[in-house]
Structure 1
Amino acid sequence: MESWRRHPLVFWIIGLPPTFWLVVFFLVPLTLMWIMSVSTKVGINDLDLNWTLDNYSRALGWLYLEILLKSFWMAGATTLLCFAIGFPVAFAISFAPQRWKGLLLLLIILPFWTNLLIRTYALIAVLRTRGYVNFSLEWLWEKANGFLMFVGLGEYQLLGQRFEPLELLYNNQAVLFGMTYVFLPFMILPLYAALERMDKSYIEASLDLGAGQWRTFFSVIIPLSKAGIISGIIITFIPALGAFLQPDLLGGPDSQLIANVIERQFKSANDWPFGSALSFILMYMTFGALALRAVLAKNSSAMEAA
């Protein structure tokens, strides 16, 4: 700290560019959006700054509140699925031989090298009626029928019916699958970082003292990796809450989330004040969730210290 005070010019040279970027490309647009949220649309491109709360009142109506609650539910379900899948993966990578860790981590971050839109369209190719999943299931169906014929059980040929493709696209399940696929690396990487830093001798000591594997997992591994779990939940839940590409491409008419509503207000409806109000309500709720997490973490730390 003293070195910075003795050389303030270096501090300003290093600090000014990111500060300028933050102010010009984040704080100023955010301020303009907040001003629009308390304005009224009076023409196609005209706004009246009358400091009204009508946009917020409309946004808190049951129609949009229901969509907002559904968005929280979908983001929470995505986060839970990412944790259930990502924790075993991160745990396996952290205990893998050193020569394999780099390759395994590369496979985790490899999807980031491909555009999100391309990855989402690839999911459509996998899940559509004549996609890879239904093609594989139809192949298994035919092989099963052929096997039953071969062993003389032709009368049990799966009710003698033809394979009916599963409707895997344009529903909430497809959206949840797509969001889990997209945000899974966001959960794995912080979990791996926490598990990699963990002292493995605690696990050995727990097992040597007679604790079973499940007892060791819940009493040793989970508490020691709590920081990574919290970080993974935050950086998975927040972008999942604002996801709009997966519901738009993979979902049906009843799969739209709050981000899709906001996007339509800015583009199709051209109602920027209402879209800004919806955006800020989403932001307020996100900040509220982060504040609640900070309070709970502080209380947990205080209880551990006591």
Structure 2
Amino acid sequence: MARRPPRWLVATGLLTPTGLWLGLFLVAPLALVVQFSFATRDTGIARAVLPWTVDAYRTALDPAFLPIFGRTLAYAAATTLLCLVLGFPLAWFTARHAGRFRTAVLAAVLVPFWSSYLARIYAWKALLDGDGLVNRVLEQVGLGRDGGFLLTHGAVVLGLTYGFLPFMVLPLYVACERFDHRQVEASYDLGHGRVSTFARIVLPGVAPGVLAGSLLVLVPAAGDFVTPKLLGGVDQTTFGSVIDDQFRGGNNWPLGSAMAVLLLVLVVVVLVLRGKRGEDVL
């Protein structure tokens, strides 16, 4: 019989391509961003190694940026919550009642991904404008708004929710499909109502999908800068928009890199906290 290679050798061979890919396209660019964050605007990117300074971090942590930082977190949290509220009923219905139409429903959720994200946000910009369809329809019932609904917090949250809703629906659908629906019937037979059954049986049963979907929405929503730029204004600026301004118009790569690192640290902290909370739930 041929001698089998050691398990560690097989594992190394299987993981090496992925490790090289992640190292080249994830770790290396991230290391460059961290390096740039310790440079100064005067030294330039080519000489960003020495001397190192924390001036960019001092500027990024200036209290003037705190409202923008808080607004970014508020947008991300509101988007995650709204995606959960809208996505859970759809995922539950699809998993339990759609039957042979499940594929069609999931395809309808994924259809927007077949077009450019930028084109879809521009479409929302046209809809929410003062002369857009949304404002004209609402004017018929006395709910219209002068200038439309652009440049508002609601427009930004709406655009983010529209863009990231499928990231919530798909994990929830998988969790709902794997959930044993007989537990709901048993709960009813034992005298529990709908609210009690949902809180004690359904929600813990689909908690992995809720956690996965929340993370998939929260992380990109916190770093998105396209939607706030197109649907918002000065009062709707997010941390991602400020980072984009530093790398393009502001020509201040160290400050932009420092802000990117701080946002990354914040996301990692949120992931760790949510992960521990998810372990407690599971």
- Aligned match of 1:184: 165
- Aligned match of 1:31: 31
Q: Which amino acid aligns with 1:252?
A: G
Q: Which amino acid aligns with 1:285?
A: L
Find the aligned partners of 1:226 and 1:184 in 2 and give their Cα distance.
17
Seq. identity, %:
36
Question: Closer, same or farther in 2 for the Cα pair 1:95/1:260, shift >3 Å?
Answer: same
What aligned pairs does 1:15-164 form with structure 2 within 5 A after superposition?
A: 15-42=15-42, 47-48=47-48, 49-138=50-139, 140=140
Q: Which amino acid aligns with 1:288?
A: V
Tell me the TM-score normalized by structure 1.
0.84
Q: Give the SS at the match of 1:254.
A: helix
Find the aligned partners of 1:27 and 1:199 in 2 and give their Cα distance.
41
Q: Deviations over 1:68-104 (max 9, x none)?
A: 1110111001111111111111111111242110100
Q: Deviations over 1:195-246 (max 9, x none)?
A: 1100011011111222111211111100101111111111110000001111
- Aligned match of 1:155: none
* Conservation of the 8 A alpha-carbon contact between 2:76 and 2:222: yes
TM superposition shift of 1:52: 1.3
**Gaps in structure 2 of 5+ consecutive residues:** none
Q: Deviations over 1:174-213 (max 9, x none)?
A: 1111111111111111111101100011011111222111
> Is 2:207 the counterpart of 1:237?
no
Find the aligned partners of 2:125 and 2:7 in 1 and give their Cα distance.
59
Find the aligned partners of 1:77 and 1:86 in 2 and give their Cα distance.
14
**Gaps in structure 1 of 5+ consecutive residues:** 142-157, 302-306
Find the aligned partners of 1:3 and 1:287 in 2 and give their Cα distance.
40
Find the aligned partners of 2:35 and 2:8 in 1 and give their Cα distance.
39
Q: Which amino acid aligns with 1:123?
A: W
* Conservation of the 8 A alpha-carbon contact between 2:179 and 2:206: yes
Find the aligned partners of 2:103 and 2:85 in 1 and give their Cα distance.
23
Question: Closer, same or farther in 2 for the Cα pair 1:38/1:3, shift >3 Å?
Answer: farther
Number of positions where the alignment pairs a residue of Structure 1 with one of Structure 2: 278
* Conservation of the 8 A alpha-carbon contact between 1:175 and 1:255: yes
Question: Closer, same or farther in 2 for the Cα pair 1:128/1:208, shift >3 Å?
Answer: same
The range that moved more, 254-263 or 209-218, is: 209-218
TM superposition shift of 1:56: 1.0
What aligned pairs does 1:210-229 form with structure 2 within 5 A after superposition?
A: 210-229=191-210
TM superposition shift of 1:292: 1.4
Question: Closer, same or farther in 2 for the Cα pair 1:4/1:235, shift >3 Å?
Answer: farther
* Residue 249 (structure 1) aligned to one of 230, 234, 241: 230
Larger Cα-atom Rg: 1
The range that moved more, 50-59 or 291-300, is: 291-300
Question: Closer, same or farther in 2 for the Cα pair 1:137/1:288, shift >3 Å?
Answer: closer
Find the aligned partners of 2:198 and 2:268 in 1 and give their Cα distance.
31
> Is 2:251 the counterpart of 1:270?
yes
Q: Deviations over 1:40-76 (max 9, x none)?
A: 1225665452221111111111112221111011100
* Conservation of the 8 A alpha-carbon contact between 1:120 and 1:178: yes
TM superposition shift of 1:262: 0.3
> Is 2:266 the counterpart of 1:285?
yes
Question: Closer, same or farther in 2 for the Cα pair 1:6/1:180, shift >3 Å?
Answer: closer
Q: Which amino acid aligns with 2:231?
A: L
Tell me the TM-score normalized by structure 2.
0.91
* Conservation of the 8 A alpha-carbon contact between 1:187 and 1:235: yes
The range that moved more, 57-66 or 237-246, is: 57-66
Q: Which amino acid aligns with 1:35?
A: Q
TM superposition shift of 1:3: 6.2
